[in-house]
Every structure is written in C-alpha cells, then in structure tokens.
Structure 1
C-alpha cells in the first residue's frame, strides 16, 4: 500500500501559463559551434494520479443499490468497496448550476449559473456567462501537464452561444478540455442524440439501428484514454464523464428493462419503505433517522387505478434499467483503466446525481417530456396503450413524481428544491487505491460539489493559481475532502454552506439548517406567485440529530431561526445570489437574453444547414409567420424541404410523392397536415406556407395556407401551437 500526506504536496505556482523557459544552450556564428536546447514540455508532478470524475444526472439519494435503493449499481458498489462512501455530500438541486460549480470549485452564483442556461436572467449570479476569473479544474490541470477530456452532457454554454457561429470560448474545448464528445443542452435522445465532437455537430447514430448514446460515450472515453496512455504513458489524464443518464428521456436498451419486469408492482410507497429499511441495515443512514411523509400533491399508490398502476410501474422499470445500464457503461470505462494497469493510481470520483431525482414527469408520467414544459396534459389511456414503447426512440419519456420522491428516500422533496435534502443530497464514492488506504468505509462529513476541485488539485499536487491566461482568479470557494481520507471521524472542515434555486433557499451552519418551505412544486411549470422574500415560511432543523429534516424546530427556536436567516442573506450578498427570483416560465423566454435573431424579420438558409439551435433560429411561436422555398424537383419526388423541431414537437414543409405538405407536430399529442392534392411537375418551383395566427394569447391555433408558384393549393387549421 502506497500512502502519503496529501496536505504536504502542494508546490508554488501562482501564474498560468508559466513564463517562457530560458534558453540554456549557447549560440555562436555556426551551428556546429553552438549548443541546442529545446523548451521542455510541462510535466505533471511525479506520482500525480489520473482522475476520472463521473457525474450522473437526476439520480436521487435513494436510487442506487449502493445507497440502499432498488436500482442495481454494481460498479458504484465496487468503487465503494474499494474506497469511501460519502452520505453528506450535496449539489445545488439543478443541472447547470451543479455542473458549473463542480468544474470550477466556486458556488454556482459565483460562476454566473444560478439557474439552467435556458433560464438565464440579466443579473451577475444568473446570466450563464462563466467568466475568465473562474478557470476550470481542466484548465489548471492541462497547464500542469495533464491530458483532459469531457464526455457526455455539458449544459453550461449560454443558449445564444450554442450555434455554429459561436463564440466557442465557453464550450468545453474553450474551458481547458483538449477533447469533447457529447451534447450541449440539458437532455437528448439516447437513440438519436444531438452529438457534438469538439465544436462540430455530428450524427453518429445514422446507419446504426442498435445505436445508444450511453454505450457510445463509454466507447469514446475508452478510446481516448487508450490513446493517451499508448502515446504518452507517463502523462496523467483528467477525464470528466457525464452521461445524460438518468435525465429524461429514459432510453436504455431493452435487456436492461426486462431485468426489472414486475419489480415495482408494489408501488412507490412500499419502495420507499423498503429502501429506508435497507439504508438503515447498511448503515447509510442513522438508526434514529425518520422517513419523511410523501410530498404534498403526490398521490398514494393505493389511490391509483389498476390501469394507472400498470403504466406507472412500467415507467419505473424503464428508469431502473436506464440507471443500471449507465452504471454498467461506467464500469466498462473503469475496466479499461484497470486493464492498462492504471487503476491503482487513478482517483475515481463517482457522484450519483447532479441533484435529486426529477419530479418534472407529472403525476402520471410522460410519453413526451416536452408536454410538461408546455403545460399539456397527456391522456392516461394513450400512455397505457403505448406502454411497450416507453423507453424506445418513439418516446421522450419521464416517470411519475411518486417515483421521483421514492428515489430521494428518506428525504423531503426532489430536484429543483434547494431548500431540502431531497433536492441537494447525492451519494458519492471516491476510490483511489494508491492514495486512500481505507476500504468500504463511510464518511459523514458535510460537503458540497464545490469541494471536488480542491480535492482533485490537492491529490494532483497542484495549487490553484492566482492568475490564469492573464486574468486574476477568484479564490476557490470549496474545501478539499482529502482530510477525510485517512480519518473517518475528522472534524468537518465545511461548516457553512448556502443553497438557492428558484427562490427555494437554505443555509447550513454547524449542523443547523434553516430553509424555506416550497410554495410551488417541481411539477408545477408555472412557478410560485408569491413575494420572493415575504411570501415564504421558514423551517429549522438540527441535522446533527435529524438526518432527514423530519422535525421542524422553527416554532420552538425563533431566535436561532432568525440568526440563520440573517446568515443566509449575508452569504447571498457575498456570492451574487441576489436578487431572489421565483419565476419559471418567464425565465425560459429566449427574448429576455442576448440573441442572434433579435430584430431580424427574414432568414435565409441553403441546403445542408442543419442543427441550428432554437436560440439561434427564427422564433415562430405565438405569431403569424411564413416560409418560402425555392426547389428543383424530379417527378413524384419525396423528401424534406425544411424542418424545425422533430419527433416530439415542431413543424416541417416537405414533398410526398410530389405533393407539398405542411405538417405541424403539437408535442406529439396532436398532428396537423395541410397538403396539396396535385404533384409538382418536374423542374423549378416556389413552395410557400403562410401561417395566420389566431392571436388572443399564447399557444393558440391558426390557419395554414400552402402555395406553389404563388397560387394557393391547400388550406387548413392548426388548432394548437407550441407556446414555449
């Protein structure tokens, strides 16, 4: 066993990049009389470990078998058996904020990421534009001799910067990552993903009917690591592996789903009880922990109809299969490192979730997640009729909120709710055979995702520079977890931490938590309608004795509550949390952010221009609009002329056997066709569609008219349009 004192390994390095190396040779008139000397490549500190940072998506504390849950995670467990398990680790309660904090070591508002990028507002803590004064861990390690790569989900590029027009400095390759293979947005289909390699959009699924993105990124990570070690075996790597799983849509291969057939027929209430009992038996939670009640608005399993139970159980079977498949593919990456003899000196940090489980799937689950964000209710009979399609390429599925709450056992609430541990507490495992002697032990110190970067830097014997690429850096706001590696009972070094997301807020201080009571549920897309400051009740918990936030002490200890409230607002002012904003739908409007399209009334595109993101595309929602195409066709030609959106919502103008068709897809709940009856003659034509919006609010219908060469050939109603 090779162990050492991590805290003694830092070395002075104040500025990156390092100044040019002095020439140590000699120069005379003739080369043969001179002594050459090359600038030497920067090398990582001797013995510095490889780092594999794994971040799953939307996995609650009580989902994985490693933390007592019903979903089998043998890879996660293997790492726990060979390392340390942390049961007091926290995230921010939402995707983009956690991811920005994780790779910078600063609080999410400090790095301008107080909400998801699609909900950015024009305030410093929320504008989504990460600045150069908060360099990522990849940038620092890269300039200290590491190879760096990012695989999977990003969700940190401002939405108006995600097109091929750039700028690209906030894409992964602009943040210190040598290589990126993944997707930029919050989610993607696993069967037909919107993949980007570097900064180039690609479609790796074309021609491969068995394609699945979760397998693909594992393959890509294995190849990249293999190449790094084949070419430069002494150069350590930093690999950030962030699969889209288990964010909706839940898209595992069928064999993983079948493993769980019938395993959830007992319902979410019973699953919560079973998980809670396992957590106590495994020592994951204290024996005096209390199982909190169902969140308000979640129906009991017994109150569901037989048909509802059948559909709901299927949703959970698919989810569980997705999580186990993801764990398997993480295991493939780790096995590839083991086979190269590198695992002993590879620090693997595996975080099961960037927030709690997602309760954005409505009370009954969804065939298409886009219905939730547009306030459209799906018919349960339609859901049940398509139960066998759940998880296939034909659905953009999400499970019911009852399952989300069960996956956050034993805590209150879920993703989005930063005030409670159901939204912020996630299971984490760290394994590093050469650096951590302990095996299979639990650590109970309170920590946060901003603590991961200083942990990595300390293990890699690298200090955070005061300046990176000419920009003075903000101090790291996290603290290293390395002090816990050798001492199970070490005193907590993180004694204070604020939480805020969509106005749900909390402050942790020396075991105490003061937090707001949510006034709106995560499954309510409209958001709260109360004053952000005076409209919230506060709760108080002594988490040193109350693991699950089950006993509210606010009424008994008003002075303690007041002190903590004041502390929250002190921290809020310090870290750019203000102003507090509880809006949801309003924030999602691209019109409130910088835009490449603002003020433009006309857009021209030519063949081959694909994958233009919504933030850089014409906004045709809630207004009249038209599209005109100049085409040259053969007899009875079929094919797409132009489309925006896809299988789960959008529109297209195409030819079917020479006949022009305008199709409107209302979030895959309703479809409208306006089609000409005559085929176009071979040759050049102008095909046009004009849409006259009814007005009177958002999401209304309108009249679509299709014309060929200036003459109308079809007219029809589109009764509903996508509002958001």
Structure 2
C-alpha cells in the first residue's frame, strides 16, 4: 500500500509539473506573408507559376475564398501584427507620420504584437523579412517582443539600393547591422536562410515557437535569379487577356470561384495586347517572366522552411498560414514621382528597377476589379492557406470572410495565451476580431462575427456586411453598393436600388471611423508626402507601354 501511495504521489507531482511547465505540447505557429502578390498568383488559386510547396499546403490543408487585407503594406502589417484595425494601431495611412495618433506611422504601445502576447505564453518568437511598422526609433521587432529577427526592407534584391539612387537600406539582425556584399546574395534567399537557421536553433529547445516569415517578394523591383527566369521564357507570350481567361477557368475548376462567377470589367487603360508591336510585347513579356521567377523563388524558400520543420520533428504540431499583404499593384515606377532614376540593364538584373504595372496586375488579381491601394476586391483580397496536420481536413475550401484582425484571436486561442488586461503598465486595446479556428477545423464555413468589417485607406472607404459591400473611392464621396455573394467582380452597382442598405452601412462606417480615429482624408491630405501624392496620381493615369506610346 505504501508503494502504491508513493507511486500515486510521484505521478501526481509529475502531472502537476507538466501542466504548469510543459509548453512543448503547445502548437507552433508560422505566419508567412507575401508582398504585392495577387489573388491568383499561386497555383492553388489558379496560377501557372510553379508553387509546388504552397500547393501542397493547400492540398493538405484549407483555402479560404474570402480573406481580406488592408490594401497596402504598412496598414496591413500593423493589423496583422496586433489584431487591431490599422488606425487603432497607429498606422492609419502608411509608414508616415501625418500628425495624429491614428496616423503616426508606427505601431503604438497600446496595440500589443503577436510576439509580445505569445512570448508571455511561453513561446520563442522569431521574425525574418519585411517589417515596415516602425518609426522615430520605436517599434522595431527587437523592441516589440521578438527574440530573434532579421529585418530586410524593400529595395534592390541584389544590393539594397533604392529606386532613386538614394542610400542603401541595410539589413539588421537583432537590432545590429547585418552587412552583405552587393551582387553576392539574393534577398529572398537571405530571408529564407535566417528562417531556417532560427528553426534549426529552435529545434534544440523544448519551447513552442512563433515564426513571422515576411517575404518582400514579389514586390518590385522586378529582379530574379537567371535560373528561375529561364523557367518562364515564352510562357507569357500570349499576353494578359488570355492569361486572365486561363487563370479564371482554372479557378472554376479548383472551386476557388463558383461555376457561374463573372469576371470583373476590364479597366479602360489596360492595353490591347494584339495592338502592341513585337518589341513592346517582348518588353512586357520579360516583366512577367521575372515576376513569376520571384514568386517561384519564394515558394522554393517556403519548401526549405517546411523541410527544416520536418527535419526537427515539429511538422505535425505546427500551424502554417500563408497570405498576401494586398492585391497586385498598379504603380508604374517610370511615372511615379521622379521615376526610377536608377534603372539600367535588362529587367531582372541588378541594375534594373521595373514594376509589372497595371497590365500584368490585371491578370494577377483575377477575377477581381482594381489593384493594391483600392478597396475594390482586387485591392483587399488575399489568397489564404492554412495547414495543420491532423487538425485541418485536407483539401478543404471554405468561404471564410476572414480578415487580418482575426489572426491574433486565432493564434491566442490555439496557444492558450491569455490576452493581458495590462502590459507594462499599459492597458492594451481590445481585440475586435474573431478566432478563425471554427472555420479552420470545419465547424463553420465562414466567420460568425455579428458585425461588419471596415476599411479606410487614403480616403478609400468600404464596409462588408453579409452579402453587401459598400464603398467609395477618393476623391469621390459617392457610395457604391455591391452584392458580392453574387457579383464579387463588382460589375453592378446597386446603390440606387437599395437606399436603406446604403444608409444603414454608411452610418455604421462613420461610427466605426470615430471609434478607431479615422478622419476624413481631405483634412489631412496636405500632410501627405509628395512621393505618396505622386504615387496615388500615377495609379489613376494611363501607363506608358515600354518601347513607345500606349496603344488602347
């Protein structure tokens, strides 16, 4: 009897210790973010680009038809990292200070980062890639909860240079400069190498980890490795119109869009491929070959991360989520501000500084309308893949209607992390999002949030509530209304037929705006940096085709 009692006491003590101290059973979390990737730019969402690793995650996991971002990089990253609407986090406009708390341009202290909360739950926190939500020496990764970080902002993929020939944009590891020799590296590979290194080191530990893997690819400048570009030679000779039709047909076949879905209307300033000269076609084709190569290399890097995950024996207990920060872009570097003054050599090489422009982005955002920075579906829709072996049913495609603000509640619920009522003498902002776990685990087809979703970016405004989407595009204040369940291509404005819906959702919008600190953009537009004013204007103008005047 004494032996039995002793054994029971020892067992109870071990169990109690395990319950209080064993964090190794908690799931790991990897959040992968692409930059300027369109909705249809990976194979699992209709692309011809070779993305076998992302496609495998999709086949073995779940895809959402509807997942929303904030239409442009810094506001998206602010929401993603904090679970807040971007204004509440302090990044209402961009990574620029426009003179008020909602528009200070970097994450405020009241908006806790994923790393700060998960670190408090026993996680090792890791980051590699683009950050873009710091300012005035504040809110860098190493200041906001990350144990290890490699920071590499946008710039040349080969030498850190900017489009205007300005100062290099150095990389930092754990807050210290990380020097690299120009022409001896490729940015996407550097980001991957650090992520793999961090996972390798983490594999020796018993703690769970959170990895934020934020690629700069495929954001311009269009630069890629020759062996990757070679894979796509001749693939885009057919032009953007045929490519868009091809991707749309594949999306229907995959079940990403419905069989009766309708493509959005073609923008008036998208060129007619058949009217371009041979030289013009050749120069445009080269752009898309490089863009595809950049996506391809990112996917290769994701494959290396997954291999390391398996090698360390952590693949079965890890949630991986992949999204994009906004739709494919409309900006043309030749027309933006003073142009890409640094632009020598063929597209794709170390001296080039090109962007894909509206024409190819028109195909990248299939089947939606418009581009990055707009609140039409083409600007705010992201591919969404979630992979979690034994927890997520393979091959699942759900409606979702998720948003960036839903990621924080999802991760905290999964990790058993309590969102603190107080953090370093600061009362954190409440979380407005909902956990995605019921959707990921197949209990629901879409998020049951009970309230609309909202957007505001440089005067562009939108509300999504059920099947309805209300929006206006600056400088216009006219509300447009779309039934996005039946017309996600936003081809039919039904505002005049539904005054009651317009009234209800517009009132809800202004209530939300007041709550988060969003203001009428006309009242702060004069504080906007000239480069960004030129950027917005360039998107509204016709894009000049390489090799000569544009042909409509």
Same fold (TM over 0.5): yes
Residue number in structure 2 paired with 1:147: 124
SS at match of 1:145: coil
CA distance in 2: counterparts of 1:389 and 1:155, whole angstroms: 29
Matched, 1:467 2:422: yes
Any idea what the Cα deviations from partners look like across 1:93-149, whole Å, max 9, x if unmatched?
A: 00000001001011111101112213x311222112422211111011112211111
Aligned to 2:402: 447
Could you say which residue in structure 1 is the equivalent of 2:537?
A: none
Q: Partner residue of 1:225? A: 199
1:171 aligns with 2:128: no
SS in 1 for 2:352: coil
User: Which residue is equivalent to 1:394?
Assistant: 351
How many angstroms does 1:484 deviate by? 0.9
Structure number with higher helix proportion = 2
Task: Give the one of 488, 499, 510 matched to 1:558.
Answer: 499
1:581–1:153 distance in 2 versus 1, CA, 3 Å: farther
Change (3 A) 1:376 1:66: same
1:489 is displaced (CA, Å) by 4.5
Question: In the alignment, does 2:176 pair up with 1:195?
Answer: no
Partner of 1:678: none
Asked if 1:505 is matched to 2:483, the reply is no
Partner of 2:360: 403
Distance 1:270-1:583 versus aligned 2 partners, 3 A rule: farther
Displacement over 6 Å in runs of 4+: 582-585
Q: 1:254-269 alignment to 2 at 5 Å?
A: 254-269=226-241
Paired residues of 2:23 and 2:208 also in contact (CA < 8 A):
no
Aligned pair partner of 2:314 in 321, 342, 365: 342
Contact 1:358 1:414 in 2 (8 A): yes
Superimposed CA distance per residue, residues 511-539 of structure 1 (whole angstroms, 9 cap, x where no aligned partner):
210111x35xxxxxxxxxx4xxxx33221
Show the counterpart of 1:373: 336
1:21-100 aligned at under 5 Å gives the runs 43=21, 45=23, 47-100=25-78
| 2:209 corresponds to which of 233, 237, 243 | 237
Verify: 1:579 aligned to 2:546, yes or no. Answer: no
Aligned residues: 507
* 1:309 and 2:281 are equivalent in the alignment: yes
CA RMSD, 1 decimal: 2.5
CA shift in 2, pair 1:176/1:297, >3 Å: same
**Structure 1 pair 43–245 and aligned structure 2 pair: CA distance change class (3 A):** farther
CA contact (8 A) 2:340 2:353 kept: no
CA distance in 2 between partners of 1:583 and 1:283 (Å): 43
Aligned partners of 2:521 and 2:129: how far apart in 1? 31
Q: Measured at CA, do residues 410 and 115 of structure 1 come closer, stay the same or move farther in structure 2, by a change above 3 Å?
A: same
| Alpha-carbon displacement from aligned partner over 1:399-446 (angstroms, at most 9, x marks no partner) | 12111121001111010002x11000000101111432x001101021
1:76 Cα deviation (Å)?
0.9
Match of 2:291 among 319, 325, 333: 319
1:545 to 486, 489, 495: 486
Secondary structure, aligned partner of 1:445? strand
Mean CA deviation greater in 485-494 or 397-406:
485-494
TM-score by length of 2: 0.87
- 8 Å CA contact 1:49–1:347 kept in 2: the answer is yes
Taking the aligned partners of 2:446 and 2:247, their CA distance within structure 1 comes to 29
Structure possessing the higher radius of gyration over alpha carbons: 1
Q: CA 1:196 to 1:122, structure 2 compared with 1: closer, same or farther past 3 Å?
A: same
Where do 5+ consecutive residues of structure 1 fail to align? 1-39, 162-166, 362-368, 520-529, 591-724
CA distance in 2, matches of 1:300, 1:555: 33
* Aligned counterparts of 1:372 and 1:563: Cα–Cα separation in 2: 40
Q: Report matched runs for 1:522-533 at 5 Å.
A: 530=475
Shift of the 477–506 alpha-carbon distance from structure 1 to 2, 3 Å rule, reads same
Within 5 Å, give how 1:274-293 maps onto structure 2: 274-293=246-265
Match of 2:114 among 122, 137, 140: 137
RCO greater where, 1 or 2, for CA within 8 Å and sep 6 or more? Answer: 2
Aligned partners of 2:27 and 2:318 also within 8 Å: yes
| 1:215 aligned residue (189, 204, 209) | 189
Aligned counterpart for 2:91 among listed residues 113, 121, 127: 113
Q: How does 1:486-505 map to 2 (within 5 A)?
A: 486-487=441-442, 489-490=444-445, 492-494=447-449, 495-505=451-461
Q: Distance in 2 between matches of 1:235 and 1:252?
A: 36
Separation (CA, whole Å) in 2 of partners of 1:573 and 1:585: 21
C-alpha distance in 2 between matches for 1:582 and 1:314: 42
Q: Report the counterpart of residue 370 of structure 2 in structure 1.
A: 413
Question: In 2, distance between residues paired with 1:453 and 1:542?
Answer: 29
State whether residues 330 and 358 of structure 2, in contact with CA within 8 Å, keep that contact through their aligned partners in structure 1.
yes
1:266, distance to aligned residue in structure 2 (A): 1.0
Residues 94, 115 of structure 1: 8 Å contact kept: no
C-alpha separation in 2, matches of 1:129 and 1:264: 39
1:355 aligns with one of 313, 317, 326: 326
Corresponding position of 1:536:
477
Matches of 1:335 and 1:421, distance apart in 2: 34
Cα deviation, 1:466-510, whole Å, max 9, x if unaligned, reads 111221111111111001123265453134100111111110112
Q: Distance in 2 between matches of 1:298 and 1:304?
A: 12
Check if 1:270 corresponds to 2:226. Answer: no
Q: Deviations 1:20-45 (Å, cap 9, x if unpaired)?
A: xxxxxxxxxxxxxxxxxxxx9x9564
- Unaligned 5+ runs, structure 2: 1-17, 161-169, 532-552
> Which whole-Å CA distance do the structure 2 matches of 1:98 and 1:551 have between them?
28
Deviation for aligned residue 1:59: 0.4
1:477 to 432, 453, 462: 432
Secondary structure (helix, strand or coil) at the match of 2:47 reads: coil
